[in-house]
A and B are shown apart, each in its own frame.
Chain A
Amino acid sequence: METYHLTVNGQRREVTVDPSTPLLWILRDNLKMTGTKYGCGISACGACTVHLAGTATRSCVVPISRVGDRPIITIEGIEADPVGRAVRNAWVEHDVVQCGYCQSGQIMTAVALLKQTPKPTDANIEESMGGNICRCGTYVRIREAIHDASRQLK
């Protein structure tokens, strides 16, 4: 067991855990932040996506020992970000969600995309969002909501 100091959504947190524990399970089991979802555990579905120093990252395959001092932003903290707010509002406006389980990861990936590429093409969207599975098949609305959020952000 090791002790780690993390910055999650701007707050300092301390956990004492096995160094191999993926960030996903630190968030869910230790910090009780369940907005970040477990879907596959092998970085193949994107449900667990968080921002690690601003980069969309699959938290299910990042051991806590590799996080270092990089700040972590999760779905619970995305409201503080103007791009985050625009994406979330577009998601609601376009009635994107169905079961909603993958949507934390979809939103986190979309926010990272728009921060890097404010006016994404369909090809940009497919490249960035290409690893996020939505089993309900909300992709058409995800695409529309991203374009709309991009327009709202000007």
Chain B
Amino acid sequence: MATAMQTGLTRRTFFQVSASAIGGLMVSLYLDLPLLAQDQKVKSPPDAFIAIHPDGNIIIQVNRLEFGQGVSTALPLVLADELDADWSQVVPELAPAADVYKDPIRGMQMVGGSGSISTSFMQYRELGARTRAMLIAAAAKRWGVSPDACSAEAGVVHGPGGKSAKYGELASDAAQQPVPATVTLKEPAQFRLIGKTTKRLDSRAKCDGSQKFGLDVDLPGMLVALVAHPPVFGAKVKSVDDAATRKLTGVKDVFEVPVAPGGSGVAVVADKFWTTKQARDRLKIDWELAGLQLADSDELWSRFRELGRTKGMVAIARGDETAIDHIPESDRIIAQFEFPYLAHCPMEPLNTTVRFDGDKAEVWAGSQLQGVDQMAIAQTLGLKPAQVTFHTEMAGGGFGRRAVIDSHVQREAAAIAQHLKGTPVQLIWTREDDVQGGYYRPMHLHRVEIGIGSNGMPVAWRHVIVGQSLLAGTPFAPKGGGVDPAVVEGVADTPYSVANFHVSAHQPTINVPVLWWRSVGNTHTAFVMETLIDELATRAKMDEIEYRRRLLDPKASKLRAAVDLLAEKAVWRNGLPQGHAVGIACHYSFETGVACAADVSLDHSRPRVHRVTVAVDLGLAVNPLTIESQVQGGLTFGLSQLVPKGAITLKDGRVEQRNFDTYAPPYISQAPLAVDVHIVPSTQAPSGIGEPPVPVIAPAVVNALAKLTGKRYRTLPLASL
């Protein structure tokens, strides 16, 4: 196995086991991560990760939010494999906010960067393997034999002479066994679950209405809160007439609350959603807009176009910056790309439920950053994080929208709960609040000049990117300012080899909150790179896959492997029906290589995507079925860049879209008809799959369109063709 797979539990993480009152085994970790400022040595509850009950059921805590990506099946699967558990007895639970659930590599509890499997793979394997060793040791002791004479399979320890004992029967004895200092993990050939196709554990509950999401939390006496948010980001309430609101039966309270970034709004609290909604609609609010920057898309584009003509902060400078100026104009491509703001719009509207009891609080929320949100709520309520119990609720999508460093939804919810001390209150952001509420994928402009050599390959490349920094103002901002990696990722680190390669970035400050959107900077950078490479291949009269192979850095092994597999699997591209064309794109992000071929035709001046073949190299494939689903879903998510209602725009500081009538992700007829997914066989450490498929589809589709219409498309979303 690769060395990267040896990093699981850090040296400072220790096991802690104990017997449970009902005679089971509970496994936890003792954490001492020195890099975390807020940490003291915190002992976790004894069943923090595994509880084996006498009836054989194994409860496994998942240290991440489940919001569709499949982690609540994948991590238990990894653990259960090393534990040799009976898969039918495994029950996952979403762990609450706690230090013990911090990502063992990244030091914070989080879902992001497609890292859940890559960073917890070894952690969960070791948890399973050590627990298995203790169960075997307990059986060996009971039978008076050496542990080496015993084996385990499907939740049963087998010993000499046909002896056997179920894990549930051994659990309390196992808790008395010493934790093995070292443990030998399985070789890939020994895996029973890892690498096999396994269905999700949460399917049935999500098909019969019984799955509870954050919005379904219902507590005795719970009230519902909506906030009238300012029409311009950062605006404050000047005056409010709430007479009509207060007259409505069921309304409990109306009051002003702080609203990020730096503004205020009016909270309305009532007994039920519909009352609250009607009550909010009746508010008459006068807003203070003085001194605020009124963002306006048309004006921003003018400014971005000016900036794009000048060099920005240097992201990468390789070779001669002026090389391009010596290349004849006929051998140059000058291209400008424009990408709008995009909203995430997870299907479950944002929400958080809080009950504040003076010296403690309890929270129910689907969060990608439980610890950050717990801290924000504690700060708002004047508590310590340990006084805030934070339950992780199943979330209806997120795509980055539930990973917000300023925890603005949680802060609003906490401020409201503080006002209603002792009463649980659920803050709901309606779809309108969500679409208009900011935290968008930023708008971007790229201006690229390419000089082409005599062999048709690019020899000089000058690239300016204009876009807001995602990290500015957060603890993750580059030290001393400078280029935000999220602005230039996918361009500055391109695996294409160009001798003279210069990338710079302008990061204007704009009064619109921005956020990572599934696959982050790669959403726009892959589009630019892959459409330009395609154009270069066309000019060189070369096959577009062959052209990419020639230009790819030999060291880009995972992307190369994906491209090679695609070439093998997408042979259909040579026999397309009349009116169809194939578009190719590939991209490397989050340590995963993805290549795709899309079969596209024109239907009423819009692209129709018939079939997509995708090849991925993500190291060891933990669950091929989840990988297939994530690729299929990721492609559709990527197509939200092309659909007609795929843009958030602003006029005089106000967002022009309101709901799915004016901003809409792809519907079924805008998604591919069929997607086949092929995985490069590998025993390398697993990398992510949630984000990497997103960037490739939009460029692949417009590359096909270029063949059908003869035009290059550089402004998104696509206008009528």
**Which A residues contact B (CB, under 8 angstroms)?**
1, 18, 20-22, 25, 28-30, 32-42, 44-45, 47, 74-76, 78-79, 88, 91-92, 95-104, 107, 122, 125-126, 129-143
Residue of chain A at shortest CB distance from B206: A100
- Could you say which residues of chain A place their CB within 8 Å of the CB of B667? 130-133
Question: How many chain B residues have a CB neighbour from A under 8 Å?
Answer: 64
- Could you say which residues of chain A place their CB within 8 Å of the CB of B8? none
25 A–B contacts from the bound complex (CB under 8 Å): A18-B278, A29-B272, A29-B274, A37-B213, A38-B349, A40-B431, A41-B659, A42-B659, A88-B207, A98-B397, A99-B347, A100-B203, A101-B396, A122-B673, A126-B669, A133-B347, A136-B397, A137-B634, A137-B636, A138-B632, A139-B668, A139-B671, A140-B632, A143-B668, A143-B673
Measured in the bound complex, the distance between the Cα atoms of B661 and A124 in whole Å is 23
- Contact of A44 with B659 in the complex, beta carbons under 8 Å: yes
From A29, A35, A139, A143, B208 is in contact (CB under 8 Å) with A35
- Could you say which residues of chain B place their CB within 8 Å of the CB of A122? 673
User: Shortest distance in angstroms between B248's beta carbon and chain A's nearest beta carbon?
Assistant: 9
Measured in the bound complex, the distance between the Cα atoms of B396 and A136 in whole Å is 9
From A18, A34, A40, A99, B659 is in contact (CB under 8 Å) with A40
Measured in the bound complex, the distance between the Cα atoms of B665 and A57 in whole Å is 21
- Contact of A92 with B207 in the complex, beta carbons under 8 Å: yes
From B200, B431, B664, A95 is in contact (CB under 8 Å) with B200
Measured in the bound complex, the distance between the Cα atoms of B275 and A22 in whole Å is 11
User: Which one of B62-70, B520-528, B544-552 is at the A interface?
Assistant: B62-70
Interface of B is mostly: loop
Is B312 an interface residue when CB atoms closer than 8 A count as contact? no
From A25, A102, A103, A125, B273 is in contact (CB under 8 Å) with A25
User: Shortest distance in angstroms between B73's beta carbon and chain A's nearest beta carbon?
Assistant: 10
Measured in the bound complex, the distance between the Cα atoms of B346 and A148 in whole Å is 28
Which B92-113 residues have a C-beta within 8 angstroms of A? none
- Contact of A95 with B209 in the complex, beta carbons under 8 Å: no
Known: A136-B633, A139-B668. A37 touches B347 (CB 8 A): yes
4 nearest A-B residue pairs (beta carbon):
A35-B209, A137-B636, A101-B396, A100-B206
Is B443 an interface residue when CB atoms closer than 8 A count as contact? no
User: Shortest distance in angstroms between A139's beta carbon and chain B's nearest beta carbon?
Assistant: 4
**What does the 1/0 interface line of B257-276 toward A look like (CB < 8 Å)?**
00000000000000011110
User: Shortest distance in angstroms between B104's beta carbon and chain A's nearest beta carbon?
Assistant: 25
Is B702 an interface residue when CB atoms closer than 8 A count as contact? no
Measured in the bound complex, the distance between the Cα atoms of B65 and A99 in whole Å is 11
Is B705 an interface residue when CB atoms closer than 8 A count as contact? no
- Contact of B348 with A99 in the complex, beta carbons under 8 Å: yes
**What does the 1/0 interface line of B204-236 toward A look like (CB < 8 Å)?**
111111111101101000000000000000000
Measured in the bound complex, the distance between the Cα atoms of B396 and A45 in whole Å is 14
- Could you say which residues of chain B place their CB within 8 Å of the CB of A35? 208-210
Residue of chain A at shortest CB distance from B430: A41
